[in-house]
Homo-oligomer: A and B are copies of this chain.
Amino acid sequence: MNNDFLNWKGLRRTDPDRPRPLADAVLRLIWEEHRISRADIALRAGLSRSTVSEIVGEILPLGLVAEMGEGPSSGGRRPIVLEFQDDACVILGVEMGAAHVAVALTNLRGAVLAWESREHPVRSDPPGTRRVIAELCAKCLAAPAAAGRPLVGVGVAVPSPVDPSQPDRLSTIVLPAWEEKLGLESLGEQYGVPLFVDNDANLGALAEQWWGLEEDVDHLAYIKVATGIGSGHIIDGEIYRGATGVAGEIGHIAIDPQGERCICGLRGCLVTLVGAQALVARAAALVADYPDSALAGGEFTVHDIEDAALAGDPLALQVVCEAAGHLGTAIAGLMNLMNPSVVVLGGGFARLRDLILDPLRERIRNRTLVDSVAAAEIRFSELGPQSVAIGAATLVLKAALGDSSLFPLIESSAEASQ
């Protein structure tokens, strides 16, 4: 509640320092529709045509929207088509993983224009990580696709909970060496753009919601199964962070009280059954029963197990299906509580796709009481390993579409208007 009564039910005092309150809404509508005429804007937004004309007149010089000839007549004068210029600006999305850094340069439609990635001990080396990030960002901005295009902002995905009220503060538990400080302000200052930070799983969820689905979905869960297990949530169209920014910890949900002991001190957490180490251990334990397996006799990693499963190896399939079943139990619990309409699976484990889909679906069907919960769609990430970095860029785009003053001014906007 606090001081937000002005926003109660969308009411808001007209902001005096920024021009025309509805301009942002119109700009966003044009973004959503890609190409739209003034008359259609008026129709869709419930504004009068005169107002829309005026607003568009103010928006055009920003260079984000251009008039692109005329559209087909529907029995009268042919409309002037306004088109959002997806490539007017670029955005940097940074992913900090546990052991790597990746940077994506995107346009205003989530398309990746440049991609840089490097292994790095992020956990233990904060200053080096900051240097690597700066370097990869510079490399991306030097790409030909970025030439002459101004930067909107930098989004950063961190492998740590992010408190909405203190975005620059990191959790001591997950990243103790960082001493609670992200320390990337200089990155934004260097380019003169704002910096946005959020949790990696949340940004994966954001990316999947914005770019991975055809339909508009307001309730989405993104589950990343790799070394660890994380999940991010979109609720009512917004990233869900919870009271202290730690929502979505699915990794330590109890699956089996008689199970293995977990690093968190308990037994039978999901990570003890589905994490990378768990899969390797399980396969090693079963290898005696499958002497013909491709994994028999030698060291192997999760990656090897996944490859073997995709090749049809019985041992790998056994391990993978068991894990999928456990994952299904956890996802069912998540669905019962959060009731998403789509669950997106990402991370290395999602490579297996059809191999794990059936055991997953069956377990979920069994464990969800209400039909409409079970009706949620289970699908795999369309963005793959880039989803988190793209999500970081999307965070910036989302902010700019909500407050168009964040968009940089574009000089050469005269040539665009035909």
Contacts and interface: CB of A to CB of B under 8 A. Distances in A.
Contacts of A254: 254-255, 329, 332-333, 367
A416 interface: no
A244 interface: yes
A395 to B, nearest CB: 14
A202 B245 CA distance: 22
A297 interface: no
A252 interface: yes
The copy count of this chain in the complex is 2
Contact of A341 (B5, B243, B338, B375): B243
Given A13-B22, A249-B370, A45 B6 contact: yes
Given A13-B47, A369-B264, A237 B1 contact: yes
Given A242-B339, A366-B266, A6 B32 contact: no
A22 B11 contact: yes
A11 B25 contact: yes
Contact of A252 (B247, B340, B367, B402): B367
Chain A's interface: helix, strand, loop or mixed, by majority? loop
A163 B373 CA distance: 12
Nearest to A217: B243
A24 B6 contact: no
Nearest to A337: B337
17 contacts: A1-B32, A1-B216, A5-B29, A6-B22, A6-B46, A8-B24, A8-B28, A9-B24, A11-B21, A13-B22, A161-B372, A173-B371, A219-B243, A248-B339, A254-B332, A256-B257, A334-B337
A240 interface: yes
B329 A244 contact: no
A246 B334 CA distance: 12
A325 to B, nearest CB: 10
A7 B254 CA distance: 40
Contacts of A10: 6-7, 10-12
B403 A243 contact: no
Given A334-B337, A337-B250, A373-B249, A46 B13 contact: yes
